[in-house]
Amino acid sequence: MIEAGTKAPDFSLPDHDGNQVSLSDLADRRLVLAFYPLDFSPVCSDQLSLYQEVLDEIESKDARLVGVSVDSSYCHHAFRKHRGLTMTLLADFHPKGEVSRAYGAWIEQVDHGNRSLVLVEDAEVKWSYASPTPLEIPGANLIFDALAD
């Protein structure tokens, strides 16, 4: 997992509407990157729905939460609509997992991202967390603790 104090790897990924989004496009606020394995899986659905419930509170702390997985923009679009999500979802689709790997949020054995959180501010990683297993959802309390520091 990427460590605090590291320069945040730059990226440009399509969002849920197919628009390219780069790290610099998200630099106006603190950025919480929420890496997760796949749209529509039961645990991922629970994870993103949980974050949606507290999204207003995250944003009130001058932060933005953005989800990242290997699914396509089309899949992200459908997932957002199905789950009632309003956060940006980025497609780390091609090359598969390149950004997830750069942030240390990748599990080679299963060929998808791990559930990981990264707080970026001023293009620097301020905090990161990786779940011990992709079946464990990083709670919203971890995000709020990181934003409080």
DSSP 8-state symbol, 42: H
C-alpha of 24 from chain center: 15
- Short-list 93, 90, 88, 114, CA closest to 103: 114
How far is the C-alpha of 48 from the C-alpha of 52, rounded, in Å? 6
Residues designated catalytic: 44
For residues 4 and 89, what is the distance between their CA atoms, to the nearest angstrom? 23
Q: What whole-number distance in Å separates Cα of residue 136 and Cα of residue 144?
A: 18
